[in-house]
Copies of this chain bind each other. A is one copy, B any other.
Amino acid sequence: MAADTAFLQEVSWNSDGLLPAIAQDWKTGQVLMMAWMNEESLRCSLEEGHAVYWSRSRQRLWRKGESSGNTQLVKAVHLDCDGDTLLLTVEQLGGIACHTGREHCFFRRFRDGQWQDEVPVKKDPAEIYGNAR
């Protein structure tokens, strides 16, 4: 095994060859989103310095920001104790991580028995994605 890929063997991929990757803002600490990575997307993220996920719906590599321009610069990558979850510390370019046009994806808070939207839309998705979406 090449020394430069040995670190991939310490990752516990699930039966689909994936693991969850949490993206956290490097300055505010806000958890921006959770997506999935396969081996190739992890390697690409580390080599390119931009977050690259695996899109389960499209079954292909998903370079975060490829449509919106809102890429994520990777500042650090951490693996958890069980080796089955990643934490990415990122700089979110454009300040928008969510496809709804919000800063982050966790905008629905549980209150009074309901999920309540508590984060404003920064930019209309139609503006972000044009006709592509």
* Oligomer: number of copies: 2
**Given A78-B107, A79-B115, A109-B77, CB of A85 within 8 Å of CB of B7:** no
In the complex, how many angstroms separate the beta carbon of A18 from the nearest chain B beta carbon?
A: 12
Interface: A66 (CB within 8 A): no
Interface: A127 (CB within 8 A): no
Neighbouring B residues of A115 by C-beta, 8 Å: 7, 10, 79
Q: Given contacts A24-B31, A79-B108, A79-B110, list 7 more A-B pairs with CB under 8 A.
A: A6-B114, A7-B110, A7-B113, A22-B34, A34-B85, A81-B99, A81-B105
Which residues of A are interface residues toward B (Cβ below 8 A)? 3-4, 6-7, 10, 20, 22, 24, 28-31, 33-34, 46, 76-82, 85, 87, 98-100, 102, 105-110, 113-115
